[in-house]
Amino acid sequence: MSESPYIVEVTKENLDAVIQKSMETPILFDFWADWCEPCKSLMPILAKLADEYQGAFILAKMDTEAEPEIAQQLGIRSLPTVKLIINGGVADEFSGALPEGEVRAFLDKHIAAPVEQPAEQGPVAVAEALMAQGQPDAALQVLREAQAEDPENGDIAIALGQACVATGNFDDARKCLSILNDVDAKKPGATKLKGLLTLSDADDATKDEASLVAAIQQDATNSEACYQLGVKQALRGEFETSFETLLALMLRDREYGDDGARKTILSIFDTMGDDPRVGVLRRKMFNYLH
């Protein structure tokens, strides 16, 4: 007897009950015999599909050697024979050992295959999706609730810190970074968070981008304006544009901010993480420096 809840052995004692069950759930009758080699190749396919379909049908196995009278009454003339019983009647049947694809097609004509349910998303994945949809405040709420339930989870703390930066809560972001253990602090997400905080520290919030652009148009050598423009571009996620802005400043004025342009470019690389563009930009900076 199979241990699967979707497979039953049929005898004359339970035949009527199995047929009655077909009024609720389709029954796939498999007529077989121990001497039948094709039966043995078909059996595991049927058993696999019974478990895969998770109760969409019940596999009823009948040994025709043990129950010859029933097999004769049902007109079984060759083995293996498979009959699909729905609402007490034969809805379809086939004979012979079909490959799995054909058996699946046979079932799908009458039975809806189960829809695989997506795995439940964790709070970090939910928050990332909200961030991608332009809903940082909603992401922040999800992560704050998750951290309250699991305060030692480093991945949640890292994601929360990044969401805090995105919503301007820089002090809270630093707190998230400070509670990381040594292992979590070395994760790419933590490195990205450090880069974001370095950029936010460098940003002068009293200066808007339009005034910086205007200042540069009046004086292209205005290092402070160029630097602040590059920082704001990076915080907005325009990393390549920011790189070009800061690279130009680095090549023209290495003394500004104690080599501040180069240091900020390195923070941008940290923020970009494993982005493939980082390698290209690193090589470009190296070539200019050497």
User: Where do the domains of the chain lie, and which CATH numbers do they carry?
Assistant: 7-108 (3.40.30.10), 123-201 (1.25.40.10), 209-289 (1.25.40.10)
From the candidates 36, 164, 176, 226, give the one annotated as an active-site residue.
Answer: 36
How buried is residue 10: exposed, middle or buried, by Cβ count under 10 Å (0-12/13-18/19+)?
buried
Segment 258-288, tens digit of pLDDT: 999 999 999 999 999 888 899 999 999 998 8
Categorize the per-residue pLDDT at 99 as very low, low, confident or very high, splitting at 50, 70 and 90.
very high
From the candidates 39, 164, 176, 226, give the one annotated as an active-site residue.
Answer: 39
Segment 126-137, tens digit of pLDDT: 998 888 888 889
Among the listed residues 157, 127, 125, the one whose alpha carbon sits nearest the alpha carbon of residue 140: 127
This prediction's pTM: 0.52
Among this protein's residues, is 36 annotated catalytic?
A: yes
Dist. CA 131–CA 160, nearest whole Å: 11
Among this protein's residues, is 176 annotated catalytic?
A: no
Q: 3-state secondary structure string, 208-272? A: CHHHHHHHHHHCCCCHHHHHHHHHHHHHCCCHHHHHHHHHHHHHHCCCCCCCHHHHHHHHHHHHH
**So what's the pLDDT on residue 74?**
86
Categorize the per-residue pLDDT at 2 as very low, low, confident or very high, splitting at 50, 70 and 90.
low
Dist. CA 58–CA 50, nearest whole Å: 7
Segment 169-214, tens digit of pLDDT: 999 999 999 999 999 999 999 999 999 999 999 999 899 999 999 9
Segment 63-93, tens digit of pLDDT: 999 999 999 988 899 999 999 999 999 999 9
